[in-house]
Amino acid sequence: MVLNIIQREIRHHILSLRLHITLLLTLTIFGLGTIAFVKSHSEEQAEYTKYHTEFIEQSRKAAESNLTKLAVKRQNLVLEPRGDAFITDSKEKYLPNRFDFSGYNVFGFDIRPGSANPYLNTFQELNWVFIVSIIISFTVLLFTFDTVSGEKEAKTLAATLSNPVSRGALLFGKYLSMIITTLLVLAPGMALSLIILLISGAVAITPVVAGEIIGFLVSVFFLVACIAAFGILSSVLTRNANISLLVALTLWLVFVVIVPNTAVFWARRLFPIEKVETVWERISREREEINRNAPKGSWSSSGDNPFLPQHELRANNQTNLMNSQMKILNAYYGEMFRQYERARMLTFLSPLSVFEYMSEAVVGGGYVRFQKVWRDLHAWQTQFLAYFKEVDAKDPDSPHWYNPYEDYSTTRKGVSFEQVPVFKEKSLPLRERISYASLYLLITVLYTALAFVLSFVLFLRYDVR
Amino acid sequence: MILSIALKEFYNNLVSARFTIGFLLCLFLVPFALFVSINDYKGQVRAYETERKQAEESAKVRVYSALRPEIVKPPEPLSIFSRGVSYNVGSEVKVLLGEKPFLSTGRSAVRENPFFNSFFSLDFVSILAAIISLLALLFTYDSCSGEREQGTLKLMLSNSVGRYKILLGKVIGVCLALLPVVLFCYLLGALVILFSPDVSFSPGEWVRICVLFALSVLFFGLFMLVGLFISTRFRSSAVSIVVCLFVWVVFVFIVPNLSVYMARSLIKVSSQESLRSALSDLDREYGEKCKGYRTNLAQPDVWMHWNYTVRYDGFQELYGSSRSLMEFYRQLNQFSEPLRIDYADKKWAFQKAYLESLDRQRTFAENLALISPSEVFRLAASALCRTDAESHYRFLERTRSYRDEFISFLNNKKIFSSFEYFTRQPQETFMTGDEIIKTRTGGEFETMREFGKWSQAHNGDFSPLWRVDIPGTSPNEYQPLDLSQMPKFRWEQASIWGSLKNSLGKVAVMAGVLIVLFYLSFISFIRYDVR
């Protein structure tokens, strides 16, 4: 019986105008979005390759002339454009995406200047996640808002229920058919997008990317299930299809506009963090304190003589300055991370935001990528410093006074660049992706279950006359 | 007759559930959007105060080489209504000799937590655009198709009443019901503004808000006619609502993203890194020239910089060094600083090309966004609220002309060829290297050569030099420069006419489309099959 209902419903959907419009719209956006992605991705990749080659070349030059020069060199790590960004870019252009480090420390992060044109409005890229979270979610609500109230108005609900079919089966059949239809609508667009990608050859569809696409499909399935449940809920809440529509639209506005747009406002109120000015005031107070206590002559230097006694004083002083600054800054960064994570938790109220985070975890981009690089960079820096000290220890011409900002009092010999540990970004391991994604999945399932059970209960009591 | 139809429509609308829900939505969203924006604005004001204080602090300098005025643009109170680009661009510009003001920087461009940039937030105008367009469509989508379904349209037409009268009556009825809602949103906004202690609007700004209201009415009218037109094209209200809603989603949610995304990928902007590397090539060339000049100068007797600070853009402050070293730097600056200004012009060619490519991208995005009336409305609103890119360009342009004023001020003082550029120590108190060594070591060493030998024998020990201090060789002994003669930065905001001029064409097109739509709906209503 459920099968019959599903068949009937799907046939009904496929003939409907809304499906045709959605199909047209998704195909257009998938096509345009992918073409734009292919073009900008290859350009970004070329820019990145140029930048990265230069970066490596400079490191090589520094290492081969004087290892200390490389160790104290303040460098910027820029993230490579992701090939799977056609699924989701996870707003990486707006998140911190540049890291400031040397061999002695990882100093901080910022948003790369020029990663977004300041004169353009902030915008979402037309990738798969955008299409699903805006167009598909909207269509699903448009398809479902009148499942019950619409049939009641058309008087077909009473007729259907006069057959030997339970209300639960009817509702479930309608629900399943909705999910299937939506996935059917999505399929041609995704296929088009993949064909464009394959023809252009901008992105290689490796097994990893294929796996990500499958993960994305799983998240889409759960999202559609969730939104459809909300749509059905809005249709059983009222006896009139027009009002159901309003309820559904309001829900959509809440999910798409209100929840994500107000997260920052609430996060600032609820989880305030120290102001950046006061952090820097504290740092400069500590600096002054350290400089005051430093022995006289700490700042004198002479480039010719590594063993100048002042070099040791200054090395100690500079190390103290760095350590005190980084202690304060790292605590502050930790606060920032926590505040942001909590702000994200506030947006868990919207299944669409949860879906965005789930896709972010699936492709290992955005904030999870940032955290991974941040951790790995610290690990690399420790490893590099250990290597540097090992090389320095072997040099008889070095006094081994480690100064994080100057190259006077440690080894001045070059090494072959091949032996120097170089930072390489590793993509997020599968296990971590799954563990992040499963949290979001759980939340989505919870919402779905809640909405569906509620609509089921309401439907059992629904007056079909 | 029109009036009675309008009144009927008005009452019908007023008691409908959509009116209640729409009204509640406005009642809830509008104050909230304003509340969030006012909160953001307060943050901007705080950032501005800190930056201004810092700018004032940084103007307290002892030497002219350290004098690089910082200009901070006060936050725009109208950004509460339309944010425009004001939160993406910074508000601070440092006037340098070696570079023209390029892009503004500063705290306001970066939120206190940079991760928050990944949350987008909508301003009053965007929320209003989304909601009033939705309401306009929801109230008109069934005006023909719905009445046809109920059969009331036929009844109405059986009376002796012209079809155009019915159409006009419906339009007026919807206006009667919804224009008060729009007005209500603005009044609510005005109340929120009036009662928040941190924001005060000047009369000119209230006038701008009134113009913004007029724009919203126009925008509302446009969407109403879109709904009406769609309603006259379809025979079933279920179809016309679906079409209306898709039109709404495309205009309000897809086109804004689509236009910017397409602009980004179709109009290439090279990375700032490659711009920087082009600039640093010029810097290197400049450095080479200075180096060449340096070697040809008479060399000083000793390379001892007693109290020396040096930073970017020619900043150097030097005390207690030998007369010949001071003279060396004076001659070097006389050559290097005018050259630095020349090189800024050379760099500007690259920077200008970069800015132009940014602007091409923006113009492309804005032109593409003209498909959507809600984007036209938002663009016009941000121009009106002085938060659009053009207003920011004007500010930057002004800082560039101010830099010229500042440079001519320096030139008039002939500052690059004077000692005052890098030291406050009076010229009479300069000593020779030997005199300095003798005084500082308390007479233990007569000449530099003697001290050098001793120091080398003692593993580069400099400590005898701290025995006797020479007065006047520490920067702390000098007061900051008196800068009352320096030209001040003054900036005039665009007049209301100036702000409107650019968007006038777009608004006129919007009004034109409105009239065409009315005509089209009229035609298709005349031919509408009422059975």
What is d(CA A56, CA A52) in angstroms, rounded to the nearest whole number? 6
Q: What is the mean pLDDT of chain B?
A: 87
Does residue B482 sit in helix, strand or coil? coil
> Nearest to residue B92, comparing CAs of B121, B63, B49, B123?
B49
Q: Which residues of A touch B364 (CB under 8 A)?
A: none
Chain B window 390-449: which residues touch A at a Cβ cutoff of 8 Å? 392
CB distance B118–A367 less than 8 Å?
yes
CB distance B461–A275 less than 8 Å?
no
Q: Does B111 touch chain A (CB under 8 A)?
A: yes
Residue A301 class from Cβ within 10 Å (0-12 exposed, 13-18 middle, 19+ buried)?
middle
State how far Cα B526 lies from the chain centre. 49
CA-based nearest distance B376→chain A, Å: 13
Confidence of residue B2 (pLDDT cuts 50, 70, 90): confident
A400: left (phi over 0), alpha (psi -120 to 50) or beta: left
Do the bridges between strand A75-78 and strand B316-319 make them parallel or antiparallel, or are there none, so unpaired? unpaired
Q: Which among B109, B121, B359 is the nearest to A261, CB-wise?
A: B121
Q: Does B256 touch chain A (CB under 8 A)?
A: yes
Considering the domain boundaries, does residue A174 fall inside one?
Answer: yes
CA-based nearest distance B88→chain A, Å: 5
Q: Which among A18, A113, A366 is the nearest to B272, CB-wise?
A: A113
What is d(CA A203, CA B42) in angstroms, rounded to the nearest whole number? 45
User: Could you identify the residue written with the tokens 């559904």?
Assistant: A248
CB distance B459–A261 less than 8 Å?
no
Q: Which two tokens stand for residue A461?
A: 């009591």
CB distance B88–A267 less than 8 Å?
no
CA-based nearest distance B406→chain A, Å: 27
Containing B308, the helix (H) or strand (E) segment is strand B307-310
Q: Which residues of A touch B269 (CB under 8 A)?
A: 114, 117
User: Could you identify the residue written with the tokens 């949350």?
Assistant: B119
Considering the domain boundaries, does residue B88 fall inside one?
Answer: yes
CA-based nearest distance B10→chain A, Å: 18
CB distance B17–A246 less than 8 Å?
yes
What would the mean pLDDT of B84-94 be, rounded to a whole number?
86
CB distance B257–A297 less than 8 Å?
no
What is d(CA A14, CA B461) in angstroms, rounded to the nearest whole number? 90
B483-514 residue pLDDT tens: 888 899 988 887 888 778 878 888 888 889 88
Q: Look up the domain containing B256 and give its range.
A: 2-271+370-406+488-526
Mutation test of the interface with chain A: which of B50, B51, B239, B261, choosing the one with the most A Cβ atoms within 10 A?
A: B261
Considering the domain boundaries, does residue B142 fall inside one?
Answer: yes
What is d(CA B30, CA B234) in angstroms, rounded to the nearest whole number? 33
| Residue B109 pLDDT > 80 | no
Do A22 and A135 meet the contact criterion of CB atoms below 8 Å apart?
yes
Q: What is the pLDDT of residue B360?
A: 94
Considering the domain boundaries, does residue A338 fall inside one?
Answer: no
A218 to A209, A213, A347, A440, B428: CA distances (angstroms): 14, 9, 21, 12, 82
Under DSSP, the state recorded for B438 is H
B302-336 residue pLDDT tens: 888 888 888 888 899 999 888 889 999 999 999 99
What is d(CA A249, CA A63) in angstroms, rounded to the nearest whole number? 61
Q: Where are the beta strands (DSSP E) in A58-113?
A: 75-78, 98-101, 106-110
Considering the domain boundaries, does residue B35 fall inside one?
Answer: yes
Considering the domain boundaries, does residue A365 fall inside one?
Answer: yes
User: Rounded to the nearest 10 degrees, what angle do helices A17-65 and A167-200 cross at?
Assistant: 50
Q: Which two tokens stand for residue B419?
A: 């000692």
Q: Which residues of B touch A305 (CB under 8 A)?
A: 459-460
CA-based nearest distance B451→chain A, Å: 15
Q: What is the pLDDT of residue A306?
A: 80
Q: Which residues of B touch A43 (CB under 8 A)?
A: 265, 268
Q: Which residues of A touch B459 (CB under 8 A)?
A: 305, 307-309
B344-391 residue pLDDT tens: 999 999 999 999 999 999 999 999 998 899 999 999 999 989 888 988
Q: Which among B85, B273, B365 is the nearest to A118, CB-wise?
A: B85
Chain A residue closest to B49 (CA)? A277
User: Could you identify the residue written with the tokens 């031919």?
Assistant: B527
Q: What is the pLDDT of residue A302?
A: 67
CB distance A277–B50 less than 8 Å?
yes
Chain B window 336-375: which residues touch A at a Cβ cutoff of 8 Å? 358-359, 361-362, 365
Q: What is the pLDDT of residue A159?
A: 76
pLDDT averaged per 10 residues in sequence order, chain A, 465 residues: 81 84 92 92 90 92 91 91 90 90 93 84 88 92 84 77 80 88 91 92 86 94 95 89 88 90 88 88 92 78 76 89 94 94 94 95 93 95 94 88 88 89 91 93 96 91 79
Partners of B105 in the β-ladder = B92
| Residue B438 pLDDT > 60 | yes
What is d(CA A433, CA A420) in angstroms, rounded to the nearest whole number? 30
What is d(CA B508, CA B445) in angstroms, rounded to the nearest whole number? 86
Report angle CA B143, B230, A224 to the nearest 5 degrees.
105
CA-based nearest distance B135→chain A, Å: 10
What is d(CA A406, CA A429) in angstroms, rounded to the nearest whole number? 37
Q: Which residues of B touch A340 (CB under 8 A)?
A: 113, 115-116
CB distance B239–A261 less than 8 Å?
no
What is d(CA A451, CA A228) in angstroms, rounded to the nearest whole number? 9
CB distance B358–A118 less than 8 Å?
yes
Q: What is the pLDDT of residue B59?
A: 87
Q: Look up the domain containing A182 and give its range.
A: 2-262+351-421+436-460
Q: Which among B18, B271, B365 is the nearest to A246, CB-wise?
A: B18
Count up the domains in chain A and report the number: 1
Chain A residue closest to B369 (CA)? A121
Considering the domain boundaries, does residue B309 fall inside one?
Answer: no
| Residue B110 pLDDT > 70 | no
Confidence of residue B108 (pLDDT cuts 50, 70, 90): low
Considering the domain boundaries, does residue A110 fall inside one?
Answer: yes
Q: Which among A150, A243, A336 is the nearest to B17, CB-wise?
A: A243
Count up the domains in chain B and report the number: 1
Confidence of residue B111 (pLDDT cuts 50, 70, 90): low
C-alpha dihedral sign at A437, A438, A439, A440: positive
Do the bridges between strand A98-101 and strand A75-78 make them parallel or antiparallel, or are there none, so unpaired? antiparallel
CA-based nearest distance B39→chain A, Å: 8
What would the mean pLDDT of B263-280 be, rounded to a whole number?
88
